[in-house]
Amino acid sequence: MTDGNLRESLAAACRHRQLPLLAGSLKELGFREEEKSAVNLIAILEQLGMGILPDLVPAILATPDPDLCLNSLDRLCTAVPSDELLSVLAGPHGRDLLTVLGTSPFLTSILVTQKKLPGRTFQKEWLAAARTEGEMLRELDGRIADDISFEKLQKELRLFKKQEVLRIATRDLCGLGDLATVTGEISALAAASLQKAFQVCGNLLRRQYGAPTPEDNQNGAEAAFTILGMGKLGGRELNFSSDIDLMYFYSPVTGMTTGVTDASGQTSGVIPLHLYFVKLANLITKAISQPTADGFVFRVDLNLRPEGKSGDIAQSCESAEIYYESWGQSWERSALIKARPVAGSIPLGVRLLKKLHPFIFRRYLDFGMIEDLKLMKQKIDGNLERKKEGERNIKLGRGGIREIEFFIQTLQLIHAGKHPELRVRNSLQALRRLEQGKFITAEDHQNLRETYIFLRRVENRLQIFQEQQTHSLPVRAEELRTLARSCGFDDAQSFSVCLEEHRNRVEKIYRGLFFGSEEEQNQHLTEEAFFLLDCDADGDKTSQLLARKGFSVPAAAHKSLLILRDGPPHIWLTAKARRLLARIAPLFVQEILDSPDPETALRNTEDFFTSLRSQTAVFALLAENPKLVHLLVSLFSTSRLLSRFFIEDPAALDALASSAFASFHKERDTLAEELAAAIANCASYEEKLETLRRFRHEEFLRIAINDMQDQASQEEVSEQLSDLADVCLQQAAAIARDELMPRYGLPLCRTSHEENREAAFAVVALGRLGGRELTYHSPLDLIFIFDLDGETSPHPDADPKRFRPQTNQGYFSRLAQRIISILSLRTGLGQVFQIDSRQRPSGHQGPLVSSLSSFARYHQEGAEGWERQALTKARVVCGPDHLRQGIAAVIGDFVYGPPLPENFAAEVIRLREEMALKPGQTKESSIDLKSGRGGLLDVIFLSQYLQIRHGGNRPALRQTNTTSLLKALRDEEILGEEDYRKLSTGYHFLLRLENRLRLLHDRSIDALSDDPGYLTRLALRMGYVEAAGPPAETLMQDYLQATEAIRKIYRRFLAPPQSS
């Protein structure tokens, strides 16, 4: 039968009330309960008229469940006047009404019982936009007077809930709002309802007990009460049938209510604050959650409060702080991530959560709680397995909503202590922040986001059907088909395929974080690693094995291995710590045996284990990240400097585990922004010093580790170290200025236009920092310059009684001293950088800071010849443009302006030879990378000599960086191509060798030992391999070839006098 014939047959059957014929036509159209639907359709047409039939049936067939839609429309016809219902069906949202009727019996019941809502809800302006919490609260204020009875409050809140849920659900089902908007509106409904309940219930209690008053009530303010929304309410992510998780807190601890005075003057009803707020909390809970003839507003769950069900329903903020600090558990940290003040005193809730931040967001990486989270998830999995509905449950099942939430919250708990941008409550926002911070990949972000939105939409469809708190897919095929169609799919099969794809993606990502396979970790372990940890291993065989592996004292090495197996002596380990240690000990032993220097690796590993203060957390981190064990042992075997970082500060492991280490290069602006953001979160000067040091250490580690892994050239390493020093120096200057401001104010000066302004200040770098050639353990050579003299003036926001006036010279001397102190002061985290200010005008005997005019005068009248050479490296690190330009002009005039003295070359040679002879050394005994024959100084002195000689009329030579200067000398044809290649290649080879020595020895060292074993280990660390010949010999051949070439070129340009 054609569609046209079918419609004609359907119309004829309806006109003549031929139910069998009508049922047959409906079945052919796709109705499942054709007989029931035929009765419904006849009844509808009797109410609304035959005229709607041509448009009505196709529209109904497009709904998720056409049979349900017909039945629901029949119910609605009996409750709503026909003309009103016809108007809605003919209006712009008529099909939306049918979608609601064909999806949710719960919403249909609201439409049938609240007869004014159909006409109001399905108006264009009512469904056009979302409503805010403020808009909802204003409507509640208009509907519910503050002096209303409790019963009336309950009724009005429930009627308002029905109105809003119908509106929000219609927008959701009909695609008029995205997930974030829909869940945000449901959450706003909950918050507005709670706020109104708080206001009315508070008034009701005041009538009985008076106002809640603090014990020390000097300003007449009442005690405050706040309601924290947890879970989905806190994250603005409520479902249609979600519980709302609440916690009630008040402040202060002590006080009484004022009581109520009767006509005779007698006061009654005076009770303690605690009892008053417990009553208030109970009354609010009852107002929201108690089932009445009108239903409930939201189910309320109070089990997340301190001490759970055994804790008081309302507690003081002070007691909450003590509880979480003393007894708070991992799951409570996780729960508090989403905590948000939703009603009552919002400022009190904000203050409380701010005080709880140190508990929620640990400042250092905390992988210890992953074990707790694993146990929690394992319990969930166990429950699912017993209930046999794991694949049906989209929340708790495999690849479900709970796995996504666990994934997000765990990464927040791990990283948000140091990255405040991750402290967001909403899951989708948190995912976005995690992707922006490179804690997850863009692909994982997209997969998790799409799956979360998909599953939450399905969850909403499940719950809106009958307002049931369910997360399980229907068992019956027809119900699954209805669900699929309500989610936008044509049939159940396509829905199921899509669901499975989403689940698989989440499961893979989730298990990659939580369930790293121990079998996979152990695949590369040898029998030797397990044998050395075996309690029953034969002692002689153990010693023989260790000797073969290169340990000079096998017995001592075996004792050290026992520390890896059993933990440090005299330190008690928990059962959890021992389980974790048993997992990671074989990994450490294998990596030590495979390292280039097993003895050094074991010694540093033992020191690291002995230094631990929080064994469980660190062991958990290493167990979850076996690649960290490999990286850590490789550092322990190759670098004393990097080993010391972790031995002295095991918390540095959080940086090593951070995804920020994955890439070597960071732009200077990025470093500056990250450091400024970290400092901005500090509350005290001491905290700023600690944050500055930790930032420097973590970035230093990032650079050094990537350097050790040959991820960057020597030039890139020096640039990154220099950028790090620059931003630390700039931040130190800002911290110092802020610290001086309350007492010494701001330095002012008078310009040529007779205007007062703040005097400018600049920090000039010389030496390796000036040339952006910093290496490990290089000090920062600095001079400090300000522009104009004057005096300080108090800052307008400072206490004038503390102000102590200073000359600008005195102020900037204090500022420079404070900068040096900030950078060089040793704390528990060490120092930021060592500072050397001896290259300032007049050296130690001169003032620490100079005005620009005195700086210029000194270099016009009293500067020595070597200072001309030193200032070729001068670079202004921080300071305003006009002062930078003034300093550059003075330096340019001094370095390149005056004619060269006749003995200039001889003087350069003399200075070079003086630097070659260190105390206790002779020319013959030194193998010095820097000062020795053909060393780094040969390249630096030669290039600076040529720079000064030719730079006066060749501006391209005015480079501070040696590599850039060599290129410029080649481009200007002062150096030939072959000379340039030999100088550049040799210079970078020596720099790389120097850096490896400093990483190895953890000190500023330039001398090579001639011990063959030492040279072999050094060569292996630099990447030399046995296949190319003996590593030590090959290294020394390369060294001699580079230095001979450099010295030959140096002598050609700078021939020593005949007397030499």
Give pLDDT tens digits for 694-723. Answer: 899 888 888 888 887 777 788 888 899 999
Q: Please state the rounded mean pLDDT for residues 481-504.
A: 91
The answer to whether 736 touches 791, Cβ cutoff 8 Å, is no
Q: Decide which of 1032 and 737 is more confident.
A: 737
3-state DSSP helix/strand/coil % of the chain, to nearest 5: 65, 5, 30
Range from 162-176, 409-423, 611-625, 907-921 carrying the lowest mean pLDDT: 907-921
134 pLDDT higher than 90: yes
Q: What's the rounded Cα separation, in Å, for the pair 110 and 395?
A: 27
> What pLDDT digit, counting tens, does each position of 470-488 carry?
888 888 888 889 889 989 8
pLDDT confidence of residue 54: 84
Q: Which residue has the tokens 């799409």?
A: 450
Rounded to 10 degrees, what is the CA torsion of 651, 652, 656, 658? 70
Pairing status of strand 314-316 against strand 746-750: unpaired
CATH fold for domain 904-1053? Four Helix Bundle (Hemerythrin (Met), subunit A) (1.20.120)
DSSP string, 433-461: HHHHTTSS-HHHHHHHHHHHHHHHHHHHH
Range from 728-742, 916-930, 971-985 carrying the lowest mean pLDDT: 916-930
Burial class (CB in 10 A: 0-12, 13-18, 19+), 966: buried
pLDDT confidence of residue 369: 61
CATH fold for domain 176-360? Beta Polymerase; domain 2 (3.30.460)
Q: What's the rounded Cα separation, in Å, for the pair 61 and 84?
A: 23
212 three-state secondary structure = strand
C-alpha dihedral sign at 318, 322, 325, 327:
negative
**Confidence band of 384 (pLDDT split at 50, 70, 90):** very low
Q: What's the rounded Cα separation, in Å, for the pair 202 and 957?
A: 79
pLDDT confidence of residue 662: 58
Question: CA neighbours within 13 Å on the CB side: how many for 384?
Answer: 21
pLDDT confidence of residue 377: 57
- For residue 472, what is the DSSP state? B
Q: Which of 735, 736, 652, 765 is nearest to 699 (CA)?
A: 652
Q: What's the rounded Cα separation, in Å, for the pair 285 and 197?
A: 9
> What pLDDT digit, counting tens, does each position of 806-835 carry?
999 999 999 999 999 999 998 877 889 999
C-alpha dihedral sign at 1039, 1040, 1045, 1049:
positive
> What pLDDT digit, counting tens, does each position of 239-255 carry?
998 899 999 999 999 99
Q: Decide which of 658 and 910 is more confident.
A: 910
Q: Please state the rounded mean pLDDT for residues 70-85.
A: 90
- For residue 393, what is the DSSP state? B
Q: Which of 728, 706, 726 is nearest to 717 (CA)?
A: 706
Q: Please state the rounded mean pLDDT for residues 4-30.
A: 77
Residues in a beta bridge with 229: 246, 340
What percent of the chain is modeled with pLDDT above 90?
Answer: 38
First to last CA, the chain: 116
> What pLDDT digit, counting tens, does each position of 354-375 carry?
999 988 887 665 555 666 666 5
Q: What's the rounded Cα separation, in Å, for the pair 202 and 281?
A: 10
Beta strand ranges found along 82-164 (DSSP E): none
- For residue 30, what is the DSSP state? T
pLDDT confidence of residue 560: 86
pLDDT confidence of residue 372: 64
Cα–Cα distances in Å, from 576 out to 486, 657, 734, 819, 863?
A: 48, 21, 45, 45, 67
pLDDT confidence of residue 924: 40
Q: Which of 55, 167, 175 is nearest to 118 (CA)?
A: 167
Cβ-proximal residues to 17 (8 Å cutoff; 6+ apart), any chain: 42
Q: What average pLDDT does the structure give for the chain?
A: 85
pLDDT confidence of residue 71: 92
Q: Please, what is the angle between helix 179-209 and helix 273-289, to 10°?
A: 130
Range from 7-11, 122-126, 239-243, 883-887 carrying the lowest mean pLDDT: 7-11
Q: What's the rounded Cα separation, in Å, for the pair 23 and 41?
A: 10
pLDDT confidence of residue 918: 55
> What pLDDT digit, counting tens, does each position of 599-643 carry?
888 898 888 888 886 677 788 778 877 888 888 888 888 878 778
Alpha helices by DSSP H, 388-517 = 401-415, 427-436, 442-466, 477-486, 492-514
Cβ-proximal residues to 800 (8 Å cutoff; 6+ apart), any chain: 794
Backbone angles phi, psi at 400, to 5 degrees: -95, -170
Domain boundaries, the chain: 1-128, 176-360, 368-515, 520-657, 698-896, 904-1053
pLDDT confidence of residue 229: 96
Radius of gyration of the chain (CA): 38
pLDDT confidence of residue 634: 85
Q: Please state the rounded mean pLDDT for residues 964-984.
A: 92
Q: Which of 623, 629, 709, 613 is nearest to 663 (CA)?
A: 709
Q: Which of 722, 729, 764, 777 is nearest to 962 (CA)?
A: 722
pLDDT confidence of residue 502: 92
> What pLDDT digit, counting tens, does each position of 532-580 carry?
887 777 778 888 888 888 888 888 888 888 888 888 877 777 777 888 8
**Confidence band of 514 (pLDDT split at 50, 70, 90):** low
Q: What's the rounded Cα separation, in Å, for the pair 710 and 703?
A: 11
Q: What's the rounded Cα separation, in Å, for the pair 643 and 636?
A: 5
pLDDT confidence of residue 37: 84
Q: Which of 315, 289, 293, 292 is nearest to 304 (CA)?
A: 315
pLDDT confidence of residue 313: 95
Q: Please state the rounded mean pLDDT for residues 961-983.
A: 92
Hey, what amino acid is at 775? T
Range from 107-116, 189-198, 659-668, 736-745 carrying the lowest mean pLDDT: 659-668
**Confidence band of 1060 (pLDDT split at 50, 70, 90):** very low
The two three-digit tokens of residue 171, written as one number: 């927008």
Beta strand ranges found along 659-750 (DSSP E): 746-750
pLDDT confidence of residue 519: 45
Q: Which residues of 469-504 are buried (b: 16+ CB within 10 A; e: fewer)?
A: ebbbbbeeeeebbbbbbbbebeebeebeebbeebbe
pLDDT confidence of residue 1: 47
Q: What's the rounded Cα separation, in Å, for the pair 178 and 426?
A: 15
pLDDT confidence of residue 225: 96
Q: What's the rounded Cα separation, in Å, for the pair 63 and 94?
A: 12
Q: How many residues does the chain have?
A: 1060
Q: What's the rounded Cα separation, in Å, for the pair 822 and 624?
A: 37
On the question of a cis peptide bond just before residue 252, with omega within 30 degrees of 0, the verdict is yes
Chain centroid to CA 634: 27
Cβ-proximal residues to 186 (8 Å cutoff; 6+ apart), any chain: 165, 168, 238, 239, 240, 242
852 pLDDT higher than 70: yes
392 pLDDT higher than 50: yes
Reply yes or no on domain 368-515 having CATH 1.20.120.330: yes
**Confidence band of 1005 (pLDDT split at 50, 70, 90):** low
Q: Which residue has the tokens 């720079």?
A: 947
Range from 752-761, 851-860, 1022-1031 carrying the lowest mean pLDDT: 1022-1031
Residues in a beta bridge with 762: 785
pLDDT confidence of residue 2: 52
375 three-state secondary structure = helix
151 pLDDT higher than 90: yes
Q: What's the rounded Cα separation, in Å, for the pair 430 and 450?
A: 14
User: Are 176-360 and 698-896 the same fold in CATH?
Assistant: yes
Q: Please state the rounded mean pLDDT for residues 418-431.
A: 92
Q: Residue 224 is inside which H or E element, if any?
A: strand 224-229
Cβ-proximal residues to 239 (8 Å cutoff; 6+ apart), any chain: 183, 186, 232, 456, 459, 460, 463
> What pLDDT digit, counting tens, does each position of 186-213 carry?
999 999 999 999 999 999 999 999 999 9
> What pLDDT digit, counting tens, does each position of 295-342 carry?
999 999 999 999 888 899 999 999 999 999 888 887 888 899 999 999
DSSP string, 871-931: GGG-EEEE--HHHHHHHHHHHHHHHHSSPPPTTHHHHHHHHHHHHH--TT--TTT--BTTT
CATH fold for domain 698-896? Beta Polymerase; domain 2 (3.30.460)
Residues in a beta bridge with 251: 224
pLDDT confidence of residue 7: 66
The two three-digit tokens of residue 120, written as one number: 């109001």
**Confidence band of 889 (pLDDT split at 50, 70, 90):** very high
